[in-house]
Amino acid sequence: MHRAHKLALAAALALGCATAHAVGPQAERPKAEVIHWWTSGGESAAVKTIADAYRAAGGAWIDTAVAGNEQARAVAVNRIVGGNPPAAAQFNASMQFLDLVEQGMLNHVDDIAAKERWDTTLPAPIRDVIKVKGHYYAVPLNVHMPTWIWYSKAAFKKAGIAKEPATMDELFAALDKLKAAGLIALAHGGQSWQENIVFMAVLANVGGKDLYLSVFRDRDPRAIASEPFRQVLLAFKRLKSYVDPGSPGRNWNDATALLVNGKAGVQIMGDWVKGELNAARLTAGNQYGCITGFGARAPFLIQGDAFIFPKSANADTIKAQKLLAGVMVAPATVAAFNRIKGSLPVRADLDASALDACAQAALAVMKDRTRHVGNGEVYLTPDQNGALVDVLTAYWNTAMPVEKAQKNIAAALKG
């Protein structure tokens, strides 16, 4: 019996070896294990465009998708620190991977940066976070604009709103009308990161670019204590009066569903909302409208996804990293990826005619580089950003006086 088992095992092993030999050429294809958090339907279709392009270029793609962006980053960091790094890992184009750079754990991609002339072509908020001490440490894929104002045309019609709001006051007037019509005026998911997005939208549109940068980039205590910033916080809190009682804990896509079925009027959220709207077969300009910001000077917020390439002693991995980075910046990949992802391409030289109305409007705004600002995470360490989000969500949900919120925000950004 025992012997028979051993024999079977040996046979199985031999067979295994044989199959391994049969696919021998596979082993010579540069193998790239990639950690990312794109797990929803649209997202995984988008990342598949990169995987396919990489395979077509002669590589072998090993997909390690981890649900949840914090979890995915935790896995990537642990693997890198533990000496078993993946070939590439997804991060946001932000301060999230600065510690890895400073510890000397990432390969730079300067050759691609030079070839693609990133110094001049990339939006400054993205360029400035991926370039550390003169070297580029990540390949950016896309631009997400996190503070779009989406609205349902059906709800607007029902509430008797004839025209798209063009100022913050008009937005409040529209919200009043929606509320009076018995609709949920503002579809909001009461999770702290979503409250942070609403706050960034108000800061950008009420406070303007200078105040936005003084708070996020300079972390200037005087700006935070100032009257204009107090007005921003009051406007932010005023939006709370337009949400429904069921909002705490709600997911962003459930909030979007309220917009889709006409129960709610407005949602302030990133362009990933478009994935839900498209899935519900709504089209931009017909069933829903989109606003990037109020007025010709409104800041255009930029956040992006990027891939980093951890250092490795394995020559095969290094070859794979080079190949992968090249694939990721190829115009065809960038175009295919962003069309599915709903985001904007980082390169300006692509044909925009295939994009939807909202994306085209955003591209037009993005041409004006003076309007570019990063989202909070571009300027703040994850720690500072987290402390800020804690204060904002407490201020949004409790009766915290605005002066105390100002004081707490200054304290959160001090560290």
Q: Which helix (H) or strand (E) holds 114?
A: helix 110-115
Among 28, 99, 119, 403, binds other proteins (CB under 8 A): 99
Tell me if 248 contacts other proteins by CB under 8 A. yes
Compute, in degrees rounded to 10, the torsion defined by CA atoms 341, 345, 346, 349. 170
Instruction: Figure out which of the listed residues 47, 50, 88, 100 binds other proteins, where binding follows CB under 8 A.
Output: 100
- Choose which of 146, 408, 409, 410 interacts with other proteins (CB under 8 A): 408
- Of 177-185, 188-196, 262-270, 321-329, which segment contacts other proteins by CB under 8 A? 188-196
Tell me the window of 170-178, 179-187, 246-254, 301-309 that interacts with other proteins (CB under 8 A).
Answer: 246-254
Minimum CB separation from other proteins for residue 7, in Å?
36
Taking CB under 8 A as the binding criterion, the range among 57-65, 247-255, 316-324, 340-348 that sits at the site for other proteins is: 247-255
Nearest to 81 by CA among 89, 70, 384: 89
79 is a site residue for other proteins (CB under 8 A):
no
String marking each residue 57-76 x if it binds other proteins according to CB under 8 A: -------------xx-xx--
Binding to other proteins by residue 393, rule CB under 8 A? yes
Q: How far is the CB of 14 from other proteins (least distance, A)?
A: 37
Kindly report the number of other CB atoms within 10 A of residue 309's CB atom.
25
* Residues in CB range of 344: below 8 A, 6 or more apart: 142, 143, 144, 145, 271, 338, 355, 359, 362, 363, 366
Cβ-contact 144, 90 below 8 angstroms = no
Minimum separation from the CB atom of position 86 to other proteins (A): 17
Q: How many Å apart are CA 106 and CA 130, to the nearest integer?
A: 11
Near other proteins by CB under 8 A: residue from 77, 211, 327, 366 = 77
Residue 302 pairs in a beta bridge with: 374
CA 390 to chain centre: 20
Report the alpha-carbon distance of residue 381 to residue 377 in Å, rounded: 7
Q: b/e map of 357-395 (b: 16 or more CB within 10 Å)?
A: ebbebbbebbeeeebbbbbbbbbbebebbebbbebbbeb
Burial 201-221 (b: 16+ CB within 10 A, else e): bbbbbbbbbebbbbbbbebbb
C-alpha neighbours within 13 Å on the C-beta side of residue 193: 11
Task: Provide the minimum distance between the beta carbon of 244 and other proteins in the complex, in angstroms, as a whole number.
Answer: 9
The residue within the footprint of other proteins, chosen from 92, 94, 96, 312 (CB under 8 A), is 96
**Smallest distance, other proteins to C-beta of residue 131, A:** 19
The nearest distance, CB 129 to other proteins, in angstroms, is: 15
Q: Give dist(CA 195, CA 203) in Å, integer.
A: 12
403 binds other proteins (CB under 8 A): no
The least distance separating other proteins from the CB of residue 401, rounded to whole angstroms, comes to: 14
Q: Is 398 in the site for other proteins (CB under 8 A)?
A: yes
Q: Which of 58, 160, 246, 295: binder of other proteins (CB under 8 A)?
A: 246
Residue 365 or 394: which CB sits closer to other proteins?
394
d(CA 186, CA 240): 8
Handedness of CA 216, 218, 219, 225 (dihedral sign): negative
The contact set with other proteins (CB under 8 A) reads 70-71, 73-74, 77, 81, 96, 99-100, 103, 190-192, 245-249, 381-383, 385-387, 390, 393-394, 396-398, 408, 411, 415
